[in-house]
Amino acid sequence: MNLAVARKPLRADAARNVDKIITAARECFRDFGPDVPLQTIAATAGVGPATLFRNFADKEELVLAALNRQLRLSVDPVIDDALADMDAAGGLLRVIEAIMAAASDNANLLGAVAGRRELLTGITGSLIDSIGVLLGRGQGQGTLRADISMTDMFRLLAMLIGVVDTMEPGSDAWRRPVALIEDAIRTERPHRPLPAQVPLPASQLQGPQVTGQPLRGSRLS
């Protein structure tokens, strides 16, 4: 059972402490990066370390609680609207965009569970179910490719989440890859230009410069 999601009902004062800790965690991860000490988070929340550890056994559990809150706040309303929309394909793409915006805004939280992102399954179960519903509807409407499976969608989402590791936190560089995925899953490619190319962060550039253009002398040039 994922303790970051399934928690026993808390007293009002304990619930306020949990809220303060999660809010402080988002602030500290944003400002100091994924390696911020839990003691710094406790101090920012105005609680003692013992209070933090009484509610969260370790950093992973706190990170998952913070990510879960952000998904519920920023993605769940988009899912509700998408499920009520007659255009299933359009709804599905809006959900994917909401997921990517949340991932970008919380890049340092994701970085704190890098290498163990299977942990995210516990907070994305209902989201994946909704994507399955939208995929099936879109295929029935003829707007999404009939040969795409939920396994494909799961892997495509995992690929897109990986894009966050190649961009600055808070950037909208994910929009171009999402547009490419849309071109791949729709039965008809949308008539629109791709979003602008966003360069890789300087820290990502090693060896030959990556510019978005084929390298001279390569088989692609």
Would you list the domain boundaries of the chain?
12-56, 67-192
Quick one: pLDDT at residue 170? 87
User: CA–CA separation, 176 vs 103, rounded Å?
Assistant: 15
- Per DSSP, 203 falls in state G
Per-residue pLDDT of the chain (221 residues; tens, 9 = 90+): 344 445 555 567 788 999 999 999 999 998 998 899 999 999 999 999 999 999 999 998 999 999 999 999 999 999 999 999 999 999 999 999 999 999 999 988 888 887 676 777 777 878 999 999 999 999 999 999 999 999 999 999 989 998 998 998 889 999 999 999 999 999 999 999 999 999 988 776 665 555 555 444 433 33
**Predicted local confidence at residue 204, as pLDDT:** 67
Q: What is the spatial distance between Cα 70 and Cα 91, in angstroms, rounded to a whole number?
A: 19
d(CA 23, CA 60): 15
> What's the confidence (pLDDT) of residue 138?
98
Measured between alpha carbons, how far is residue 30 from residues 26, 44, 126, 133, 216 in Å? 6, 13, 26, 33, 38
Residue 78 and residue 98: Cα distance in Å, rounded? Answer: 7
Taking domain 67-192, whether its CATH number is 1.10.357.10 is answered by yes
Q: Please give the C-alpha separations between residue 59 and each of 32, 42, 53, in angstroms, as whole numbers.
A: 14, 12, 9
**CATH for 12-56, among 2.60.120, 1.10.3470, 1.20.120, 1.10.10?**
1.10.10
Distance, in Å, from the CA atom of 164 to the CA atom of 122, rounded to the nearest integer, reads 20
